[in-house]
Amino acid sequence: MLKKFIVLFVTSIFISIISFAQTFDITRYGAKADGKTVNTKAIQAAIDACAKNGGGRVYVPAGKFLTG
């Protein structure tokens, strides 16, 4: 019973942390989903901002983002 409580407690903490994580949308850094624009710098800028702010999520919305 105690083991189930601990698992539930840890899971709820993990979910809380995830829900408060900051999101860094690559389109806010200039990425375009047109399949033609090279988005490498914009994607890297979002990753760098995420790391600089202590972590979070780098969000890539639906679309064709060219990188390389």
pTM for the full predicted model = 0.71
**Residue 22: its pLDDT value, please?**
92
At 6-61, the pLDDT tens digits run: 888 888 777 666 667 799 999 999 999 999 999 999 999 999 999 999 999 999 99
Q: Say how far apart CA 54 and CA 16 lie, in whole Å.
A: 16
Tokens matching residue 31: 């990425």
Q: What angle do CA 13, 15, 16 make, to 5 degrees?
A: 65
**Residue that wins the pLDDT comparison between 38 and 3:** 38
